[in-house]
Structure 1
Amino acid sequence: MNETTITAQPDTPFIEVVREFDAPRERVFRAWTDPVLVPQWLGPRGMTMKLFEFDATPGGSYHYIHADERGEYGFRGVFHNVVPDELIIQTFEYEGAPNQVSLETLRFEDLGGGRTRVHGRTVYTTVENRDAMVASGMEHGVRDSMERLDEVLAR
């Protein structure tokens, strides 16, 4: 079973997420960039996703809402660099905390044998903003998303 490692070192404005997948790098990258596939795995279980915009190209943007019985939670960002099968650099903003934009870098590593490691690093403007994201329950959402992505990749 693949484990998700989430690290937030004290006194740094970073969160790092590492996950291995039993799928070739091209398939994992496609799941991360295809607007048909993204709603099938991104977000916690029990929430629906409404995708308004998703253009995973340099300069493209995304906007979506996760919803459940408690309410709606909107997210948006801009893709700054997209190198097929290798790299995504994008901004991320939770609409409930406007003007707290983070920068995410995702690297896709071919491990051979049809396996891929994704290494993500999110940089926040302050340690306090990073800690607020951790306190929001993001770890639960990340772990659910990675498990759901495993299920999508298995199909």
Structure 2
Amino acid sequence: MSTTVHAHAGATIEADPTVPLIRITREFNGTPEQVMRAHTDPDLYARWVGPDDIITKIDYWDARSGGSWRFLGGRDDVEEYAFRGCFHTVEPGKIVQTFTWEGQPDGVSLETLRFEELDDGRCRLVAESLCDSFEGRDAWLASGMEVGVNDGYAKLDALLADGTV
């Protein structure tokens, strides 16, 4: 059994050959609590998520077990993309949620984010997205998603470095 691995500017993006799963692994110079807060605080999340040229607006955000979320990403009012999901589990060190791009409403993924403590106040984030099909997973991988992942995590690095998080 082999796994397809794409290493991009700090994040490792893996596609499992036996399950329609994408695994993203990234380390941060921040504690698990700080990195998790950046994923649950809507104001912080909007500041870092996605490609550099996308502006994120939170529609609603209830980061608790049983809560839900929706945000819009766009470029200069020319393009707008909406994403939504439900928080199934929000607990220290772990988030389980659904993720749907509203442009493909039948393509729901189940995401598990684990915030692992490393030495020296650092954190490893392991994010796994179980897609509903291999075709859906492969479309995500071919979409250029690595740009949004890496641009976003670089912005999160900056927020951690300047003490915002």
Pair in the same fold by TM > 0.5: yes
Q: Secondary structure at the match of 1:37?
A: helix
Which one of 75, 89, 103 corresponds to residue 83 of structure 2? 75
2:55 counterpart residue number: 48
Q: Deviations over 1:29-71 (max 9, x none)?
A: 1111111100110111011111011111011111011001451
| Structure 2 gap ranges (5+) | 1-8
Paired residue type of 1:40: R
For residues 64 and 77 of structure 1, what CA distance do their matches in structure 2 show? 9
Number of equivalent positions: 153
Q: Secondary structure at the match of 2:50?
A: coil
Could you list the structure 1 runs, at least 4 aligned residues long, displaced by more than 6 angstroms after superposition: none
Q: CA RMSD in A?
A: 1.2
For residues 32 and 19 of structure 1, what CA distance do their matches in structure 2 show? 14
1:143 counterpart residue number: 150
- Asked if the contact 1:11/1:127 (under 8 Å) is kept, the reply is no
| Structure 1 gap ranges (5+) | none
Normalising by structure 1, we get a TM-score of 0.94
Does 1:111 find its partner at 2:123? no
- Asked if the contact 1:47/1:68 (under 8 Å) is kept, the reply is yes
For residues 152 and 125 of structure 2, what CA distance do their matches in structure 1 show? 13
1:121 counterpart residue number: 128
Does 1:37 find its partner at 2:44? yes
Which one of 13, 17, 21 corresponds to residue 20 of structure 2? 13
For residues 88 and 78 of structure 1, what CA distance do their matches in structure 2 show? 11
Normalising by structure 2, we get a TM-score of 0.89
For residues 143 and 104 of structure 2, what CA distance do their matches in structure 1 show? 11
Percent identity, please: 46
